[in-house]
């Protein structure tokens, strides 16, 4: 369960401005509270992921009732497999074997039949691929005052950029300029944890259309590969 238990009313008081800014419909707010508090990750009861013959992943609704925007339970938590600062990413992969194995599998950067590849080569391949799966947000640095008090640094130029990769479920959604699912980064203040909230933007039928999301364009991707938005919407 969430480390710090609070009432629903307190949850709303703390997070209302954030939820409103994210434009998350109010009919989902209590479900968000309950799923975070009890740690309910029930997307597997509603979705399935599958890879086609070309190697492209697809996500479909497998709940027989489909998904309706009016269903207050139709919002889901997606965990983050890895959150990191760019300058420390390589070092973390080198020093955490379990993390490296997970990220290599998630990004499919190594051929499963290749048994000869070294750990260093896996790290190199992972570092090339993680940016295709990564998104970012910024947090304020903590300032320790002379009187012992602590506060957020008001100088926005000192903000820390954090990158994150969604888990094996969240990473499999294909991207579209006309998505049928919303993906919203949400910060849970009491536990100091971030989640991605996903919910339907329109009613989706059982085993109907491919489930898609809008992929934010991140400047680092553009400058790294020199590619435009159309390329970013393909295959990841």
3-class secondary-structure state, position 47: strand
* Confidence band for 160, pLDDT divided at 50, 70 and 90: confident
Angle, CA 218 vertex, CA 216 and CA 221 arms, to 5°: 125
pLDDT in tens, 76-93: 999 999 999 999 999 999
Residue 68 has pLDDT above 90, yes or no: yes
Residue 219 has pLDDT above 60, yes or no: no
Pairing assessment for the beta strands 181-188 and 47-51 based on DSSP bridges: unpaired
pLDDT in tens, 105-114: 999 998 877 7
pLDDT in tens, 109-154: 988 777 788 999 999 999 999 999 999 988 766 555 666 555 555 6
* Confidence band for 209, pLDDT divided at 50, 70 and 90: confident
The mean pLDDT of 11-19, rounded to a whole number, is 96
Mean pLDDT (the chain, rounded): 85
161 within 8 A of 86, measured Cβ to Cβ? yes
b/e map 208-235, b = 16+ CB within 10 Å: eeebbbbbeebeebeeeeeeeeeebbee
| pLDDT score, position 222 | 37
The CATH T-level fold of domain 1-79+170-236 is Beta-clip-like (2.170.270)
pLDDT in tens, 29-57: 999 999 999 999 999 999 999 999 998 99
61 within 8 A of 204, measured Cβ to Cβ? yes
Rg (CA), the chain: 19
* Confidence band for 225, pLDDT divided at 50, 70 and 90: very low
Spans of all domains in the chain: 1-79+170-236, 80-166
β-bridge mates for residue 82, sequence order: 165
Of residues 145 and 175, more confidence is placed in 175
Q: Give 199-211 as a DSSP string.
A: EESS-B-TT-SPP
123: Cβ contacts below 8 Å, ≥ 6 apart: 90, 93, 94, 100
């Amino acid at each position: 369960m969430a480390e710090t238990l609070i009432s629903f009313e307190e949850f709303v008081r703390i997070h209302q401005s954030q939820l409103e800014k994210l434009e998350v419909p109010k009919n989902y707010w209590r479900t968000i509270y309950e799923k975070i508090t009890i740690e309910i990750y029930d997307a597997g009861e509603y979705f399935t992921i599958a890879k086609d013959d070309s190697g492209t992943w697809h996500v479909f609704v497998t709940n027989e009732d489909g998904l309706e925007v009016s269903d207050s339970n139709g919002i889901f938590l997606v965990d983050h497999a890895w959150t990191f600062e760019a300058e420390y990413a390589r070092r973390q992969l080198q020093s955490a074997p379990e993390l490296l194995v997970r990220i290599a599998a998630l990004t499919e950067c190594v051929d499963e039949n290749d048994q000869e590849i070294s750990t260093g080569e896996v790290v190199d391949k992972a570092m090339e691929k993680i940016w295709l799966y990564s998104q970012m947000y910024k947090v304020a640095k903590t300032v320790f005052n002379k009187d012992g008090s602590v506060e957020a640094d008001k100088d926005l130029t000192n903000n820390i950029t954090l990158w994150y990769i969604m888990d094996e479920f969240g990473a499999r959604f294909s991207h579209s300029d006309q998505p049928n699912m919303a993906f919203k980064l949400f910060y849970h203040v009491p536990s100091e944890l971030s989640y991605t909230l996903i919910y339907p933007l329109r009613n989706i039928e059982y085993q109907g259309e491919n489930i898609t999301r809008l992929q934010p364009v991140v400047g680092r991707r553009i400058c790294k590969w020199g590619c435009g938005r159309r390329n970013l919407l393909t295959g990841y």
